[in-house]
Amino acid sequence: MAELADAAHAAAEHGAETTAQEYITHHLSYLTFGQHPDGHWGFAHTMEEATEMGFMAFHVDTLFWSLFLGGGALLFFRWIGKKATSDVPNGVQNFVESIFEFVDERVSEGFNHKNPVIAPLALTVFVWILLMNLMDLVPVDWLPEVAIFIGHFFGQEHMSFKVVPTTDPNITLGMSFSIFALIIYYSIKNKGAWGFFSELAFHPFGKWMMPFNLMIEIPTLLAKPISLGLRLFGNLYAGELLFLVISALLGLYQLPFHFVWAAFHILVVPLQAFVFMMLTIVYLNAAHDGVHH
């Protein structure tokens, strides 16, 4: 269960040094690397410095955890694949096979065409997002406190370090716009450039109402990646924020509230990975459908 006794103790210690607002702000800040206004590159020491770095700054913490978890999943599945046997499988192999079967069934139900890319993509999306979401069950102060300790050796005493990649919209929107690029690619590949354009321009009111059709269809198309990414971000960010508020405001009295919220949040973690995967399958299935006349 996330953020229980250890979080309570750490929050109490923080409360003696910082206000609740400062505590929450620190834990919601990113370890940002970018170009400072004077031209040199380095880490931001405050939120103001991170803002001044602009669009090309990197969130090192969320990039690290997303790549670490994704790479770890690939190595784990590769290891299981090499050890897989057709005899009576062990518990770990059974667990991995159950994940494969679960995703394969969802693809069979939601995708009505033949494309060898869709099932591996759905599996990757589901497992990767699930692992990133599970980082929200790590007590809120464990890894940030380690980062602060390490930061002392580099002159960064208040180092920020976010450990839940899906609470960063750069990660969630990056994934959703990657799916969007596949939607556009397969739409044009399967329907042709004219077929793809005609679906936007001639529906739902016919070709004589093309300007109005475009005003409806283009925002609808663009809403797919935005809603896909923001839904995942919003749910995980809200969950993390509530954990932090409970830790910051209630101190040692937070435990009952943490149990209640953690029990609910355990459902949110896999559910959001499942929703992202299912919408990916549905959107790509629509991209493979023929042109509707």
Question: Which residues are 33's β-sheet partners?
Answer: 43, 58
Distances from the Cα of 85 to the Cαs of 74, 90, 91, 273, in angstroms? 19, 9, 12, 29
* Residues 172, 129: Cα–Cα separation, whole Å: 9
Active site residue 227: yes
Catalytic residue of the set 170, 190, 231, 285: 231
Catalytic residue of the set 90, 98, 108, 227: 227
**Which value, to the nearest 10 degrees, does the dihedral of the CA atoms of residues 97, 103, 105, 111 take?**
-150
Contact 42, 36 (CB under 8 A): yes
Tell me the one-letter amino acid at 246. Answer: I
* Residues 64, 200: Cα–Cα separation, whole Å: 39
Contact 31, 57 (CB under 8 A): no
Residue (of 24, 33, 35, 29) closest to 59 by Cα position? 33
Distances from the Cα of 16 to the Cαs of 11, 13, 22, 38, 128, in angstroms? 9, 5, 12, 36, 38
The full length of the chain comes to 293
Catalytic residue of the set 133, 176, 235, 247: 235
Active site residue 106: no
Among all residues, which ones are annotated catalytic? 227, 231, 235
